[in-house]
């Protein structure tokens, strides 16, 4: 048997294992009983791995590896998204740096440049996902712009168009003047900004009761050029006498009416609201109700169009400044107030969005959302955690028609064709250059492309042969689970459900798992601009993929947002360290060292079944059986964080710190029979543990398993651990022994109390101590049966047991559940000096607590301090409170 190296090097082992797994075909779809098909949320083709991807992919790989080991049919579908706006923006920027204009080169050549960019940079994130150890089928990669996928997208558009679900209309959209395209509400990002509220006077055409003008309050004075009305609230009786009157709009001399509408909040500003139907969604709605003209004052770059004199050609900011100046000069600027408000920004280029009236294509969702709501209400699709169900249902209740057109060149071009000669229009599966109605040749295709989410909504079925080869979906659709972020429940999850139900008559997936949002150490969003983003590739280079993956899984709790513990160099933006990932690497080392110790002590080993020869054997096998059942249930229920934390606690605390330590005596000094049996037990426990750990830590477990001999678990015939059998709870149930666990746990508690006391007072590990235990008669009998074990392992000289035991003089008390454990320190510790030292520590701790509590009770501090600072103070307060209680207990022991 080849001996395991002294040290484990993930930078060498991990790439070698990835190659071995792929070469052996382990990543390809597997056959089995029951299906586990998962589609990866397609990352942008030109993107790079970030912490959200790393979390998402770790969860998916953990689930896929687990199901593969359980013998289920597994298929993990890889693919990337063409990322319309993102890719076009990057290519446009590259061309501009070369002095090339997209408009001058033309659409076809620009698309060639986009394909070149995609081919050059498109594989980066895929290679990074591969480096993580994700066991995804890299030979079956999909792309949203491939010919097969493009055909599916076109069919969806044409079918919905002919079924009356897609239409073209002129509506208010969120327009990005930089990207020059519409952006959906769900893609817009709100940012709090410091702004102003301008109060502008609009003269009445005829005074009313000596009222010569009305004063409107607005955050956007520049849009007043497009005002076509003034609105007041019907709940504002003082202003009703002005309803029906008109004002003369300054600058443009446009007479506009005053009317009453429920959209108006009478408490906002002056209660008079300027209405610009072409530049505000609420104003648009009021304009529709009151038949107001819709005047678009901006072009696609948010510059004022011709016809507005000196203001024409100005951008939004210039126009705002000029309008305010004009009002001031003409005595019509009443006053200005400071205002904090939220402003929508483009999620790609961060430009402030412009509500803009334009002609766009829409999906009428009323015929789609009812069934998509019912499948979630009925439990056909379940959200995990369950609280996200209501988020989905609320969004569906308020769903508006979906704007699907984008004014880009890169993407799926809208397959609608027009005849300039006779006015014919239709959506076609094949391109047309001759009008089928009049035979004319002046036929052109719609210039816009589809929203990226339109194509990705087909992801679960268009990646599996639909529409031309639906037989490929059999047994793999609906997919098992979608793992994704909460941000795209509306953008993607809901639309996938609607489209899948419409075109396949099936739900797209049975479960939706929403993973935690990873925040920076200070609780803020990670971003490149802030320099607080953590690069997963840096983490893997420093700590290994196993450590990064394991740390990510342990972060998952019932709380949605998690803070990633990492220190970043503010100048270079490079990773300095990540303490929690360092701890995870320590766990990798622990796994390796414990396994190596066992492997080095297997001389004379012959495979055989495990047996409970000693109390610790019975305890260990029972604990293992329960952890097998617990881990299986947790992974079935998507409790990934609990699974990772529990399996670490079991292996580190119970297998390594207790069982392996307790087996050393039999390994070194036992009879040949005792040595062989303890070897079999250790190999069995180690084998099962590696299988349980493998889904989240595939590399180190595979490396260990490769060096293990066959155990009693199976014949070890699988070439790789990743395709070996999962420990099935039913097969381990035979080892469950609650009595053995209870009895051994009592002895453990006594030994632990002695060890902790020895450590607290810095006594030699070899110093033997006298111990008395006050307990029930039943527990005393159990402890008596394990007297030899307690005295040997705990280094106890005299052990007194029974319910009548009293606290000996010069001893300290450790209360542990039903046991009161008295550890005599005698002449080993100067009790008086120790009590004096502890009292000084107590005084300092109480003084520090008083200072922290005083700070937290200061309302001014709490109101102004950063959330991270307040949180740190509160943690300090809690820690000091605990320390004080512990010190008081220790002092009481000595008194």
- Residue 630 maps to which CATH number? 1.10.730.10
User: What gap in Å lies between CA 699 and CA 32, rounded to an integer?
Assistant: 24
Q: Within this chain, do residues 234 and 138 fall inside the same structural domain, yes or no?
A: no
User: What gap in Å lies between CA 746 and CA 449, rounded to an integer?
Assistant: 70
437 is in an annotated binding site: no
Query: What's the mean pLDDT when you consider all of the chain?
Result: 92
DSSP letter string, 791-850: HHHHTEEEEEESTT----TTEEEEEETTEEEEEE-GGGS-HHHHHHHHHHHHHHHHHHHH
Choosing from 293, 328, 345, the residue where a domain stops is 345
Residue 397, domain member (yes or no): no
Residue 886, domain member (yes or no): yes
DSSP letter string, 539-558: HHHHH-HHHHHHHHHHT--S
- What tokens were used for 678? 């303890």
When mean pLDDT is compared across 166-170, 237-241, 617-621, 856-860, the lowest value belongs to: 856-860
Domain containing 203 — which CATH number?
3.90.740.10
Residue 879 has pLDDT above 80, yes or no: yes
Per residue in 73-124, pLDDT (tens digit) is: 999 999 999 988 889 888 988 998 999 988 889 999 999 999 999 998 888 9
Residue 170, domain member (yes or no): no
Q: Within this chain, do residues 145 and 226 fall inside the same structural domain, yes or no?
A: no
Residue 803 has pLDDT above 80, yes or no: yes
User: What gap in Å lies between CA 695 and CA 584, rounded to an integer?
Assistant: 15
Q: Within this chain, do residues 731 and 808 fall inside the same structural domain, yes or no?
A: no
Residue 698, domain member (yes or no): yes
Residue 440, domain member (yes or no): no
Going by DSSP bridges, is the β-strand pair 254-260/229-232 parallel, antiparallel, or unpaired?
A: parallel
Per residue in 659-671, pLDDT (tens digit) is: 999 999 899 889 9
Cis peptide before 80 (omega within 30 of 0): no
Question: Tokens 């120790």 identify what position?
Answer: 834
Domain count, the chain: 5
Q: Within this chain, do residues 282 and 200 fall inside the same structural domain, yes or no?
A: yes
Per residue in 468-527, pLDDT (tens digit) is: 999 999 999 999 999 999 988 988 999 999 999 999 999 999 999 999 899 988 888 887
pLDDT, residue 41, reads 95
How many residues comprise the chain?
A: 895
Q: Within this chain, do residues 331 and 198 fall inside the same structural domain, yes or no?
A: yes
What are the φ and ψ backbone dihedral angles of 303, each rounded to 5 degrees? Answer: -105, 145
User: What gap in Å lies between CA 723 and CA 731, rounded to an integer?
Assistant: 18
Choosing from 803, 829, 855, the residue where a domain stops is 829
Question: Tokens 């061309």 identify what position?
Answer: 95
Domain span at residue 602 reads 579-740
For 375-489, strand residue ranges (E) read: 382-384, 402-403, 405-406, 416-419, 425-427, 443-445, 449-450, 479-484
Q: Is 192 helix (H, G, I), strand (E, B) or coil?
A: strand
pLDDT band at 832 (very low <50, low <70, confident <90, very high): confident
pLDDT, residue 529, reads 64
pLDDT band at 672 (very low <50, low <70, confident <90, very high): very high
Choosing from 328, 345, 362, the residue where a domain stops is 345
Who wins on pLDDT, 68 or 345? 68
Q: Within this chain, do residues 536 and 555 fall inside the same structural domain, yes or no?
A: yes
pLDDT, residue 763, reads 86
Q: What are the b/e assignments for 788-797, b being 16+ CB within 10 Å?
A: ebbbebbbbe
pLDDT, residue 272, reads 95
Torsion of CA 619, 624, 629, 634, to 10 degrees: 120
pLDDT, residue 1, reads 65
pLDDT, residue 189, reads 80
For 407-451, strand residue ranges (E) read: 416-419, 425-427, 443-445, 449-450
Residue 389, domain member (yes or no): no
User: What gap in Å lies between CA 636 and CA 382, rounded to an integer?
Assistant: 13
User: What gap in Å lies between CA 182 and CA 84, rounded to an integer?
Assistant: 12
Residue 831 has pLDDT above 80, yes or no: no
Residue 446 has pLDDT above 80, yes or no: yes
Burial of 359 (0-12, 13-18, 19+ CB in 10 A): exposed
Torsion of CA 110, 113, 115, 116, to 10 degrees: 170
Per residue in 378-391, pLDDT (tens digit) is: 999 999 999 999 99
pLDDT band at 186 (very low <50, low <70, confident <90, very high): low
Residue 399 near residue 365 (C-beta atoms within 8 A): yes
Tell me what percent of the residues of the chain surpass a pLDDT of 90. Answer: 71
pLDDT, residue 418, reads 97
Tell me what percent of the residues of the chain surpass a pLDDT of 70. Answer: 99
When mean pLDDT is compared across 430-434, 700-704, 848-852, the lowest value belongs to: 848-852
Which of these, 173, 96, 623, lies nearest to 360 by C-alpha position? 173
Q: Within this chain, do residues 787 and 688 fall inside the same structural domain, yes or no?
A: no
Q: Within this chain, do residues 20 and 114 fall inside the same structural domain, yes or no?
A: yes
Averaged pLDDT for residues 412-436: 96
User: What gap in Å lies between CA 721 and CA 685, rounded to an integer?
Assistant: 15
pLDDT band at 355 (very low <50, low <70, confident <90, very high): confident
Averaged pLDDT for residues 394-404: 91
Residue 210 has pLDDT above 90, yes or no: no
- What tokens were used for 167? 């239409």
For 65-188, strand residue ranges (E) read: 73-77, 79-80, 142-143, 166-176, 181-183
Q: Within this chain, do residues 658 and 804 fall inside the same structural domain, yes or no?
A: no
When mean pLDDT is compared across 211-215, 757-761, 781-785, the lowest value belongs to: 757-761
Residue 140, domain member (yes or no): yes
User: What gap in Å lies between CA 358 and CA 279, rounded to an integer?
Assistant: 10
pLDDT, residue 895, reads 63
Provide the edge-to-edge strand list for the sheet that holds 479-484. 382-384, 509-514, 479-484
Q: Within this chain, do residues 649 and 795 fall inside the same structural domain, yes or no?
A: no
Q: Within this chain, do residues 338 and 243 fall inside the same structural domain, yes or no?
A: yes
pLDDT band at 758 (very low <50, low <70, confident <90, very high): confident
Per residue in 52-86, pLDDT (tens digit) is: 999 999 999 999 999 999 999 999 999 999 988 88
Residue 410, domain member (yes or no): no
pLDDT, residue 716, reads 67
Averaged pLDDT for residues 414-424: 96
Who wins on pLDDT, 891 or 597? 597
Residue 192 has pLDDT above 90, yes or no: no
Give CA angle at 884 (882, 886), nearest 5°: 70
Q: Within this chain, do residues 505 and 611 fall inside the same structural domain, yes or no?
A: no
pLDDT band at 174 (very low <50, low <70, confident <90, very high): confident
């Amino acid at each position: 048997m080849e001996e395991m190296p002294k040290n484990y090097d993930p930078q060498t082992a991990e790439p070698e294992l990835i190659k071995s797994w792929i070469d052996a075909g382990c990543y390809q779809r597997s056959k089995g009983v029951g299906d586990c098909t998962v589609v990866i949320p397609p990352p942008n083709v030109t993107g790079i791995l970030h912490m959200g991807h790393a979390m998402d992919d770790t969860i998916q790989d953990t689930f896929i590896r687990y199901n593969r080991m359980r013998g289920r049919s597994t298929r993990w579908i890889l693919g990337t998204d063409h990322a319309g706006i993102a890719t076009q923006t990057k290519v446009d920027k590259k061309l501009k740096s070369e002095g090339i204009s997209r408009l001058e080169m033309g659409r076809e050549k620009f698309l060639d440049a986009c394909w070149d960019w995609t081919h050059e940079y498109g594989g980066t994130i895929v290679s990074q996902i591969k480096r993580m150890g994700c066991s995804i089928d890299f030979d079956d990669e999909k792309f949203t712009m491939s010919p097969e996928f493009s055909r599916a997208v076109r069919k969806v558009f044409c079918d919905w168009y002919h079924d009356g679900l897609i239409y073209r209309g002129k509506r208010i959209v969120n327009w990005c003047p930089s990207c020059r395209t519409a952006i959906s509400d769900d893609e817009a990002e709100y940012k709090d900004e410091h702004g102003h509220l301008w109060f502008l006077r609009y003269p009445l055409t005829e005074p009313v009761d000596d009222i010569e003008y009305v004063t409107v309050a607005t955050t956007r004075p520049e849009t007043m050029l497009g005002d076509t009305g003034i609105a007041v609230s019907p709940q504002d009786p003082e202003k009703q006498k002005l309803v029906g009157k008109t004002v003369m709009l300054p600058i443009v001399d446009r007479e506009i009416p005053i009317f009453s509408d429920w959209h108006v909040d009478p408490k906002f500003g002056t209660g008079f609201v300027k209405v610009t139907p072409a530049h505000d969604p609420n104003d648009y709605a009021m304009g529709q109700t009151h038949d107001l003209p819709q005047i678009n004052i901006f072009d696609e770059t948010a510059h004022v169009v011709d016809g507005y004199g000196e203001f024409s050609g100005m951008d939004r900011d210039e126009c705002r400044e000029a309008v305010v100046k004009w009002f001031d000069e003409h005595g019509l600027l009443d006053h200005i107030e400071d205002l904090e408000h939220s402003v929508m920004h483009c999620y790609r280029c961060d430009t402030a969005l412009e509500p803009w009236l334009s002609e766009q294509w829409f999906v009428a969702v009323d015929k789609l959302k009812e069934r998509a709501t019912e499948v979630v209400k009925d439990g056909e699709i379940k959200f995990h955690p369950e609280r996200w169900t209501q988020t989905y249902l609320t969004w569906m209740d308020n769903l508006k028609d979906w704007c699907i057109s984008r004014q880009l060149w890169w993407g799926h071009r809208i397959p609608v064709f027009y005849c300039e000669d006779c006015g014919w229009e239709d959506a076609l599966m094949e391109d047309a250059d001759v009008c089928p109605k009049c035979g004319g040749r002046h036929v052109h295709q719609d210039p816009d492309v589809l929203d990226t989410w339109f194509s990705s909504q087909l992801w679960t079925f268009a990646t599996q042969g639909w529409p031309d080869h639906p037989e490929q979906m059999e047994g793999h659709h609906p997919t098992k689970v979608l793992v994704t972020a909460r941000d795209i429940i509306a953008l993607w999850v809901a639309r996938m459900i609607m489209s899948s139900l419409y075109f396949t008559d099936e739900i797209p997936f049975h479960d939706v798992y929403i993973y935690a949002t990873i925040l920076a150490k200070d609780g803020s969003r990670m971003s490149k601009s802030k320099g607080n983003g953590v690069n997963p590739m840096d983490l893997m280079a420093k700590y290994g993929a196993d450590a990064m993956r394991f740390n990510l899984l342990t972060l998952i709790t019932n709380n949605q947002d998690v803070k990633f513990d990492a220190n970043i160099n503010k100048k270079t933006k490079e990773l300095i360290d990540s303490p929690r990932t360092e701890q995870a690497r320590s766990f990798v080392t622990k796994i390796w060292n414990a396994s190596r110790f066992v492997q080095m002590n297997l001389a004379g080993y012959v495979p055989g079944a495990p047996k409970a020869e000693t109390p610790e054997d019975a305890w260990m096998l029972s604990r293992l059986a329960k952890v097998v059942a617990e881990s299986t249930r947790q992974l079935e229920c998507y409790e990934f964080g609990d699974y990772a934390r529990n399996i670490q606690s079991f292996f580190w605390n119970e297998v390594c710190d207790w069982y392996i330590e307790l087996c050393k005596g039999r390994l070194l000094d036992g009879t040949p029979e005792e040595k062989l049996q303890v070897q079999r037990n250790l190999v069995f426990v180690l084998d099962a543990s590696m299988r349980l750990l493998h889904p989240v830590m595939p590399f180190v477990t595979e490396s260990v398993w490769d060096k293990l001999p066959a155990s009693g678990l199976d014949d070890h015939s699988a070439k790789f651990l990743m395709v070996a059998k999962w420990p099935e709870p039913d097969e381990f149930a035979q080892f469950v022994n609650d009595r053995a666990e209870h009895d051994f746990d009592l002895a453990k508690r006594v030994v632990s109390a002695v060890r902790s006391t020895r450590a607290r007072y810095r006594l030699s590990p070899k110093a033997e101590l006298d111990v008395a235990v006050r307990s029930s008669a039943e527990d005393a009998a159990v402890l008596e049966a394990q007297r030899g074990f307690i005295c040997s392992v705990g280094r106890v000289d005299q052990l007194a047991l029974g319910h009548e035991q009293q606290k000996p003089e010069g001893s300290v008390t450790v209360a542990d559940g039903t046991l009161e454990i008295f550890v005599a320190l005698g002449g080993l510790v100067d009790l008086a000096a120790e009590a004096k030292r502890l009292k000084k520590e107590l005084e300092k701790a109480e003084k520090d607590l008083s200072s922290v509590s005083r700070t937290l009770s200061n309302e001014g501090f709490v109101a102004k301090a950063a959330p991270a600072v307040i949180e740190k103070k509160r943690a300090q307060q809690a820690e000091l409170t605990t320390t004080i209680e512990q010190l008081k207990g220790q002092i009481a022991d000595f008194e």
